Structure 1
Amino acid sequence: MVGLRRVVEPAGVLPQAAWRLDASPEIGPDETRIRVQRLNLDAASYRQLAEKHAHNGDAIRAEVLEIIGTRGKMHNPVTGSGGMLIGVVEEVGPESPLPVKPGDRVATLVSLTLTPLRITDGLAGWDGLSEQAPAEGTAILFGRSIVGVLPDDLPPELALAVYDVCGAPALTDRVVRGYPAGAKVVVLGGAGKSGSLTLAAARRAGARTQAVVVSETERDALVEAGLADEVAIADARNPVAVAEAVGEPADVTVVCVDVPGCEHGAILATANGGTVIFFSMATSFPAAALGAEGLAADVTMLIGNGYVPGHAEFAVDLLRQVPAVRAMFEARIAAD
């Protein structure tokens, strides 16, 4: 049920921790095979690859293919992150508990870092210049995997973008509802995919919202969208600048920035007794823990693990109910 039979090396670890997986398309009794149609690389991984290769699409594509070919999964060895995919169910093993059948068009709601993946078209339809990559190949889901059938009323590219970050708004909703109405929520990176959904979730849960963004362009987009009560500009990697931009410390701070070095600013901007949610794969958890200790910060720090029961439905519902969020997602997809 957890995919141990797919681990090639090292022996004895779960698929996410493995260096290499067996991505062969033949399924075991509890497995499901997906015919891949599109990959969505997570933001931290794509940014690292794009910066490494100076935004050369051919070089980015070549390295993604090399990672998948070497590891049997899309598991960036630098960021430790991957992404997710959409495709069509081809075959379901007789012991699989997943609620899908052959022909269903689905999104895998588990990371590509633990999904056996085989690419057969060389990513020929992808220019390497966006997070979403048209693809052909096969992927394997385990009995303990999570999968969602794509909604009929959303374009697949839009649904994929939402599902990629659906854990962030759902976890934020859960945390914020544990605070009194009117609690202050700060979102670092509020103009991005996870950030905009998180702002909408926090507001719907009764919070006052503030976004911290890196540029005037992002500030203007959020102000026009009306997703935050306040929008401030600061480099999330500069702790003092973040704290000054936030002003009154937050009850809940959510980190949705896809660059490293944002831990201390988030902690410094959070009130004692507050909560910091690190929802970025660029987070250094030793830096967060030791930084909080060094600042004598009495804050609860949570790892956004990407899964909250009902998270996919929650995020899609937000997209449907908050037109400004949908508009921001559609603009991002169009720009890509």
Structure 2
Amino acid sequence: MGLHRVLSPPGVLPQAARRLDASPGLWPGETRLRVERLNLDAASYRQLREKHHGDGAAVRGEVLEIIRSRGKMHNPVTGSGGMLVGVVEEGPAFPAGTRVATLVSLTLTPLVVTSTSWDGRSEQIPCDGHAILFERSVAAELPADVPVPLALAVMDVCGAPALTERVVRQRRNPVVAVLGAAGKSGSLSLAAARRAGGRAVGVVLDEREAAAIEGLADEVVIADARDAVALSDLKADVTVVCVDVPGCEHAAILATRDGGTVVFFSMATSFSAAALGAEGLGADVTMLIGNGYAPGHADLALTLLREEPGVRAVFEERLR
């Protein structure tokens, strides 16, 4: 689990640590990767970009300082990180030379970045350095038929469609509302919901985003996902929150009928706001934290990318 890499505070797991030992020497069970590319999660990148008013150099500087000082990429404001692609140098997890994507957060992955050409203006960071996988760290070999930046973007959010599919299959012909439907996790969740037998309602901010999910959703609603009143008439059986800005908790709760389920995938979610908001509204809803891991999640997400042209179009547009 990587407890031996925790420098401070003592007794916590690597994800909760303030600082990790990211030295390249391996302990038993560990695997070292030569890092090629990082993918910051959407909430973290948005927070950094807004903090620095779009100044790419400042964003780059803060990201590199976080990694240097903490031994991992762990945004202290959002509490989130992202994931990476690298080539196995040594260790038992994969044969040396295998190109893999980590399916665990950068917030618990010991990481050193030695150089980068990144300009701070995108979520993906081409770079050189090394990272350490623990014995329980989840990773997957990259597919040969998908370009690395595209595969990295998909695998960064592959937990979303997997859990969406699981929840939707537990109900009979449910209405599934996806907030932030034109984003990466949102588009995958729409596709997964329809394949699992749900009627997919995509909630997007404007006409441009509505056009982006044409063909993926059975219905499109244009609204601000932070506007609780605007979404109160949806009465969805399942609401999936994929918006990368804070303040969507109460809208998601009101969009969901009594007895329904809300799945929070956004790292911008305030779970205290969600719990106390539901209590204050007298809302009888089950609320789930979107776990980034589910068995088969990477394969499912890549299948959706290959078989749903609308999903692939959303991802390729974001990578331009």
TM-score range, shorter chain: over 0.9
Structure 2 match to 1:198: 189
Structure 2 match to 1:294: 280
Normalising to structure 2: TM-score of the pair?
0.99
Structure 2 match to 1:183: 174
CA distance in 2, matches of 1:48, 1:242: 25
- AA at the equivalent of 2:110: P
In the alignment, structure 1 segments of 5+ residues that lack a partner are none
CA distance in 2, matches of 1:214, 1:326: 20
CA distance in 2, matches of 1:101, 1:266: 44
Structure 2 match to 1:73: 72
CA distance in 1, matches of 2:227, 2:306: 35
1:193-244: CA deviation from partner (whole Å, max 9, x where unpaired) = 0000000000000100101111111012222xx100111111111111122x
Note if contact 2:81-2:107 (Cα within 8 Å) is conserved in structure 1. Answer: yes
Structure 1 match to 2:125: 133
- AA at the equivalent of 2:78: T
CA distance in 1, matches of 2:95, 2:27: 16
- AA at the equivalent of 1:131: E
- AA at the equivalent of 1:107: A
Please point out which of 207, 210, 223 is paired with 1:216.
Answer: 207
CA distance in 2, matches of 1:262, 1:281: 11
Q: Any residues of structure 2 matched to 1:45-64 within 5 Å, and which?
A: 45-64=44-63
1:21-40: CA deviation from partner (whole Å, max 9, x where unpaired) = 00001111110000000000
> Alignment partner of 2:16: what SS?
coil
Structure 1 match to 2:315: 329
> Alignment partner of 2:257: what SS?
strand
Structure 2 match to 1:147: 139
Note if contact 2:257-2:285 (Cα within 8 Å) is conserved in structure 1. Answer: yes
- AA at the equivalent of 1:154: V
Q: Any residues of structure 2 matched to 1:198-277 within 5 Å, and which?
A: 198-223=189-214, 226-243=215-232, 247-277=233-263
> Alignment partner of 2:178: what SS?
strand
CA distance in 1, matches of 2:212, 2:184: 13
- AA at the equivalent of 1:78: V
Runs of 4+ aligned residues of structure 1 deviating over 3 Å after TM superposition are none
CA distance in 1, matches of 2:203, 2:307: 23
CA distance in 1, matches of 2:317, 2:255: 30
- AA at the equivalent of 1:112: L
Normalising to structure 1: TM-score of the pair?
0.94
- AA at the equivalent of 1:232: V
Please point out which of 152, 159, 169 is paired with 1:160.
Answer: 152
Please point out which of 79, 95, 98 is paired with 1:101.
Answer: 95
* Larger displacement relative to structure 2 (214-223 or 279-288): 214-223
Once the two structures are aligned, what percentage of the paired residues are identical? 70
